[in-house]
C-alpha cells in the first residue's frame, strides 16, 4: 500500500554527513537510499552483509558523488567525447557520467507490505541543467526490496519537443574477498570494446576474470549473469544479475595503478571490489521521440 511520510512502518528519514537518506528497516531486509543521486548504498537480507561495496573513504557531501553502491549515470555515460554524436551534441561539460548522480531527486511515494518495500524517486531534467545539458526529460527510478533481492528500474521520458538521444548505466559496485578469484559467467562468446586498448573490439573467451585494470563495454545486455565473488562477510557470495532494456554491459576494476589516482578510493581497495553495470553505452544508445519512454532495469538475487 502507499504510505505518506510520518506513517511509514519500516521506512524512515536519516542524515549521513551532509546528505538526506531513506533507511529501510524491514523485518526481512535492510536498505539505505540517498536522495542525492537516487543512490543506493546498502541492501542486505537479514543476517547478511551488504550486497553492495561502498568505499571506506566515501564522502557524503552536497554535490559530491558517493564512491560505491549503485550510482546512476544519466543522461550520458562515461566521458562526453566517447558518446555517439547524437548524445554528445547535448552535453555542455567535460564531466563524465551525467548529472543525475549528484542531483537531488524527489521522493514520489513509498509502498510497504509484510514482504517488500517499493520506493519511487523522480528527477526533472529541465532548464535548471542548461549549463551542462540541453534537453528536457524526466527520469523515474523505482526500487523494490525483498528478502529475495533488489530491483531497480530507471525510466526515461522525453518531455521535450525534439528527438532525445542518451546513454546511461546503473553502475553497480560489488564486494569480493579476492578479486583474483572472482568471475562473471554469461558473457562467453560476446564481443566487447576494450577501452584500455584503444577501444579495440575483442571476443570474450570463458568467464570474465580480473588480472589487473579492467574496463570493458560488452556489446550485449545479457538477460542473466552469474557473479561469483568469494566473501567471508556474506552468507552467500553467489549472485545472479538479470537486466532488461539494455544492450550493453560494462565490467570495471581500476587495478593497482589507477586505484591510486581515484578520489575517495583507498589504494588497495581494488582487491575487494568490482563493477558490473547494466547499461546503454558505447554504440548502444537510446533514441526517444516526444512523449516516448524507455526503461532500463536490473534485478539482483541470490545465485
Let me know: does 31 contact 48? Beta carbons within 8 Å. Answer: no
Predicted pLDDT of residue 6: 59
For 66, counting Cβ atoms within 10 Å of its Cβ (0-12 exposed, 13-18 middle, 19+ buried), the class is: buried
Q: What is the CATH number of the domain that holds 129?
A: 2.70.98.10
Q: pLDDT band for 223, please (50, 70, 90 cuts).
A: confident
Task: Tell how far CA 155 is from the center of its chain.
Answer: 13
pLDDT tens digits along 248-263: 999 999 999 999 999 9
**pLDDT surpassing 60 at residue 5:** no
Residues 6+ apart with CB under 8 A from 6: none
- Residue in this structure with the C-alpha cell 537516487, named with its chain if needed: 38
pLDDT tens digits along 263-293: 999 999 999 999 999 999 988 999 999 999 9
Helix (H) or strand (E) holding 142: strand 137-146
Predicted pLDDT of residue 120: 98
Q: In what order do the strands lie in the sheet with 72-73?
A: 72-73, 168-175, 273-280, 248-253, 214-218, 191-194, 200-203
Range of the domain at 226: 2-302
Q: Tell me the DSSP string of 114-136.
A: SSEEEEEEEEEESGGGTTTB---
pLDDT tens digits along 189-213: 999 999 999 999 999 999 999 999 9
Residues pairing with 166 in the sheet: 286
Residue 58's alpha-carbon distances to 62, 69, 139, 266, in angstroms, are 13, 10, 25, 9
Cα dihedral sign for 121, 125, 127, 128?
A: positive
pLDDT tens digits along 62-86: 999 999 999 999 999 999 999 999 9
Total domains in the fold of the chain: 1
- Please name which of 279, 280, 275 lies closest in space to residue 262, comparing C-alpha atoms: 275
Q: pLDDT band for 238, please (50, 70, 90 cuts).
A: confident
pLDDT tens digits along 84-128: 999 999 999 999 999 999 999 999 999 999 999 999 999 999 999
Beta strand 149-158 pairing with 200-203:
unpaired
pLDDT tens digits along 154-182: 999 999 999 999 999 999 999 999 999 99
What's the mean pLDDT in 201-228? 92
- 3 state DSSP class of 203: strand
Q: pLDDT band for 4, please (50, 70, 90 cuts).
A: low
Q: pLDDT band for 229, please (50, 70, 90 cuts).
A: confident
pLDDT tens digits along 27-47: 999 999 999 999 999 999 999
Predicted pLDDT of residue 43: 98
Amino acid at each position: 500500500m502507499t504510505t505518506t511520510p510520518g506513517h511509514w512502518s519500516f521506512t524512515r528519514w536519516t542524515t549521513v554527513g551532509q546528505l538526506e537518506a531513506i533507511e529501510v528497516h524491514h523485518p526481512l531486509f535492510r536498505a539505505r537510499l540517498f536522495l542525492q543521486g537516487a543512490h543506493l548504498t546498502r541492501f542486505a537480507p537479514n543476517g547478511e552483509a551488504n550486497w553492495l561495496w561502498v568505499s571506506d573513504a566515501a564522502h557524503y557531501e552536497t554535490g559530491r558523488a558517493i564512491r560505491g553502491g549503485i550510482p546512476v549515470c544519466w543522461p550520458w555515460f562515461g566521458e562526453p567525447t566517447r558518446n555517439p554524436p547524437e548524445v554528445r551534441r547535448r552535453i555542455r561539460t567535460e564531466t563524465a557520467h551525467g548529472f543525475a548522480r549528484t542531483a537531488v531527486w524527489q521522493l514520489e511515494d513509498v509502498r510497504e507490505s509484510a514482504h517488500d518495500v517499493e520506493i519511487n524517486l523522480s528527477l526533472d531534467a529541465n532548464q535548471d541543467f542548461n549549463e551542462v545539458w540541453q534537453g528536457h526529460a524526466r527520469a523515474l527510478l523505482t526500487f523494490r526490496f525483498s528478502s529475495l533481492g533488489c530491483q531497480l528500474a530507471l525510466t526515461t521520458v522525453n518531455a521535450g519537443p525534439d528527438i532525445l538521444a542518451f546513454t546511461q548505466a546503473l553502475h553497480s559496485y560489488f564486494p569480493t574477498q579476492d578479486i583474483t578469484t572472482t568471475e562473471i559467467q554469461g558473457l562467453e562468446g560476446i564481443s566487447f570494446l576494450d577501452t584500455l586498448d584503444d577501444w579495440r573490439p575483442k571476443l570474450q573467451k570463458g568467464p570474465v576474470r580480473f588480472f589487473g585494470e579492467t574496463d570493458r563495454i560488452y556489446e550485449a545486455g545479457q538477460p542473466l549473469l552469474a557473479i561469483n565473488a568469494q566473501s567471508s562477510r556474506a552468507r552467500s557470495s553467489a549472485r545472479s544479475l538479470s537486466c532488461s532494456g539494455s544492450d550493453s554491459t560494462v565490467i570495471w576494476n581500476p587495478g593497482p595503478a589507477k586505484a591510486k589516482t581515484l578520489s575517495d578510493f583507498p589504494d588497495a581497495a581494488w582487491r575487494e571490489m568490482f563493477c558490473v553495470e547494466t547499461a546503454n553505452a558505447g554504440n548502444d544508445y537510446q533514441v526517444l521521440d516526444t512523449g516516448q519512454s524507455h526503461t532500463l532495469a536490473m534485478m539482483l538475487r541470490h545465485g
